[in-house]
Structure 1
């Protein structure tokens, strides 16, 4: 099994941080409980797809967003690559990838503690990023890809009281239930990040942090597109 992990990790981490050879670009969106990253990711993917076509290069390239709902489908493609990759322990490797996919696709991701699964999970996130033109929602992608060039790590935050009130409205629950939900999800996400990178996340892990309580989705998206242009992560157009 160790042979698979080392070999697979080497093959999927197709970026060279020394030379800056990284296919990208990639956007990650991290969020506190109560902040809706999925809506932003969906709209941003459509805008960036159109922007690629209008750029100087006239690149007809689709941006895709990836979250827990379609992660399992993405991993299935990787499973096929493993099956044809000539690994001695293919069956066990496929089993591990499928386990990571199932965990990623629901809240059990936060219960992962096996170091081999965590390492494989990190590799899958790197593979998604290396595909380029990808928006990854949650799942600690921002901290995993912190040192990767050609990326933008976005964080959505909001005051606790605002998030509690929003969860009360979205889930139609009492204030006490909303408080418990917000705190539980924040704790689970913080704990998972520690498992993945060995420490708590901090502001330095993100390129920009938005106050979701005071901004509209379109304002956040406009700012992200502007930053991507200024950092030359996406091409300019006249």
Structure 2
């Protein structure tokens, strides 16, 4: 009974997730930042926004919570109702059924993920933005003027950074970091439809050995050499 109802709801409420291998016709430029838990990306993104805005003469923006808010708006839901997707949690069959029967604002997991994918690609296509996480590396990988970076560092160093915020033991922070890393990997792999290889990134930085300014300056230099900041690419 549960499976029959769930299949009915999926057919009614869901649409196919965007295929990351499908060619995308949009201008960019866009930067995505993926990071292991404990490697902070927000300061790097904000510094990059300032420097890229000055260099290009066009205002850049950093996007993270905006993706959640825009996705929720498109679904006519409170952002808190879809935030669980970013934590790689899924509703059980009976949770789905109960939600569908009890709320006219019901949206399935796949519908939510499809909407998130649409929102991320929309921002990326418009360009002049830096997307932190949210599957951005997968969803914008076929945009010609795109650049993808990953921040990583030894687990003990990352746990020590987390301790400054959460004030918990080293063992607890290591466990927490590994759990968050796994959840982020699950979301990226969902959008990619298979395990995501590190070769999708243009560059991987060791956040332990490089400071924020060094990472930003290196990234902008590589973007220029790759042609991401050059003349707009026209496709077709």
The alignment's TM-score, normalised by the length of structure 2, stands at 0.75
Q: CA deviation at 1:165?
A: 1.7
Q: Does 1:147 align with 2:125?
A: no
Q: Identify the match of residue 119 of structure 1 among 93, 97, 114.
A: 114
Aligned length: 202
1:63-120 deviation digits (Å, cap 9, x = unpaired)? 001012x3344447x74xxxxxxxxxxxxxx33xx36x5466x455222572222222
Q: What is the alpha-carbon distance in structure 2 between the residues aligned to residue 125 and residue 201 of structure 1?
A: 18
Query: Of 23, 28, 35, which aligns to 2:32?
Result: 28
> Is residue 223 of structure 2 the alignment partner of residue 228 of structure 1?
yes
Aligned partner of 1:138 among 133, 138, 158: 133
Structure 1 Cα separation of the partners of residues 51 and 31 of structure 2: 13
The RMSD of aligned alpha carbons is 2.9
Per-residue CA deviation, residues 38-73 of structure 1 (Å, 9 max, x unaligned), is 1101110111111112xxxxxxx20001012x3344
Cα displacement (A) at 1:133: 0.2
Structure 2: unaligned runs, 5 residues or longer: 1-10, 92-108, 232-236
| TM-score between the two structures when normalised by the length of structure 1 | 0.74
Note the residue ranges of structure 1 that are not aligned, 5 or more in a row.
Answer: 54-60, 80-93
Task: Report deviation, 1:181.
Answer: 0.9
Cα distance in 2 between the residues matched to 1:200 and 1:186 = 14
Shift of the alpha carbon at 1:2? 6.5
Deviates more, 1:163-172 or 1:211-220: 163-172
Residue matched to 2:182? 187
2:48 is the counterpart of 1:71:
no
Give the corresponding residue for 1:211. Answer: 206
